[in-house]
Chain A
Amino acid sequence: MVIFTFFALQSSVFRSLSGVANWLDPASTLGIMAVAVALLMIGGHFDLSAGVMTGTTALTVGIVATEFGQHIWVAIAAALVVALAIGFLNGWLVTRTGLPSFIITLGTFLMLQGLNLGLTKLFTGTVSAGGIASAGGYGSAEWVFASRLEVAGVEFRVAILWWVLFTALATWVLLRTRFGNWVFATGGDEVAARNVGVPARRTTITLFMTTAAAAWFVGTTLAVRLTSVQANTGIGQELIYIVAAVIGGCLLTGGFGSAVGASLGALIFGMTQLGIVYLRWDADWFYFFLGVMLLLAVLANRLVRRYAEAARR
Chain B
Amino acid sequence: MTDPGAGLGGPALLELRDVGKDFGSVIALDGISTTVRAGEVTCVLGDNGAGKSTLIKILAGVHRPDRGQVLLDGQPVSFSAPRDALDAGIATVYQDLAMIPLMAIWRNFFLGAEPTRGRGPFRRFDSARAKEVTRRELLAMGIDIRDPDQPVGTLSGGERQSVAIARAVHFGARVLILDEPTSALGVKQAGIVLRYIAQARDRGVGVVFITHNPHHAHPVGDRFLLLGRGRSLGDFAKGEVSVEEITRLMAGGAELAELTTELERPLPQKDGS
Contacts and interface: CB of A to CB of B under 8 A. Distances in A.
Interface string A168-212: 000010011110111011001101110111100000000000000
Interface in A254-312: 255-256, 309, 312
Given A193-B112, A198-B111, A251-B102, 14 more contacts: A177-B123, A178-B125, A181-B114, A181-B125, A184-B103, A185-B103, A192-B97, A193-B100, A195-B82, A196-B111, A197-B83, A198-B112, A256-B102, A313-B154
A189 B97 CA distance: 11
B96 interface: yes
B204 to A, nearest CB: 23
Contacts of B123: 177-178
B100 A197 contact: no
Contacts of B98: 192-193, 195-196
Interface residues of B, number: 27
Interface SS of B by simple majority: loop
7 residue pairs, one from A and one from B, having the closest CB atoms: A188-B100, A197-B112, A195-B98, A196-B112, A178-B114, A192-B98, A312-B154
A175 B103 CA distance: 11
A170 to B, nearest CB: 14
A255 B102 contact: yes
A312 B150 contact: yes
Nearest to A189: B100
A237 B151 CA distance: 34
B124 A192 contact: no
B96 to A, nearest CB: 6
Interface string B107-126: 10011111010000001110
15 contacts: A176-B124, A178-B114, A178-B125, A181-B107, A184-B100, A185-B100, A185-B103, A185-B107, A185-B111, A188-B103, A189-B101, A193-B100, A196-B111, A255-B102, A309-B153
B151 A197 contact: no
Given A185-B103, A192-B96, A176 B127 contact: yes
A192 B98 CA distance: 4
B102 A184 contact: yes
Interface residues of A, number: 25
Interface of A: 172, 175-178, 180-182, 184-185, 188-189, 191-193, 195-198, 251, 255-256, 309, 312-313
A195 B100 contact: no
B236 interface: no
Classify the interface of chain A: helix, strand, loop or mixed.
helix
A52 B254 CA distance: 69
B79 interface: no
Nearest to B147: A312
A193 B103 CA distance: 11
Contacts of A255: 100, 102-103
B112 A309 contact: no
B190 interface: no
B197 to A, nearest CB: 20
Contacts of A189: 99-101
Contact of B96 (A177, A191, A309, A313): A191
Contacts of B107: 181, 184-185
A185 B103 CA distance: 8
Interface string B80-99: 00110010000000101111
Contacts of A193: 98, 100, 111-112
A182 B110 CA distance: 11
A193 B112 CA distance: 8
Contacts of B97: 192
Interface string B199-235: 0000000000000000000000000000000000000
Contacts of A195: 82, 94, 98
B154 A309 contact: yes
Contact of A188 (B101, B112, B114): B101
A256 B102 CA distance: 7
Contacts of B124: 172, 176-177
Identify the interface centre among A178, A180, A251: most chain B CB within 10 Å of its CB: A178
Nearest to A196: B112
A166 B169 CA distance: 39
Contacts of B82: 195
A177 B86 CA distance: 23
A251 B111 CA distance: 21
A312 B99 CA distance: 18
Nearest to B121: A177
A172 B125 CA distance: 10
Contacts of A177: 123-125
The residue among B99, B100, B107, B150 with the most chain A CB atoms within 10 A of its own CB is B100
A309 B151 contact: yes
A176 B101 CA distance: 19
B137 to A, nearest CB: 15
Nearest to B154: A312
Nearest to A184: B103
A180 B114 CA distance: 11
A188 B103 CA distance: 8
Among B113, B123, B124, residue most surrounded by chain A Cβ atoms (within 10 Å): B124
A313 B96 CA distance: 21
Nearest to A190: B100
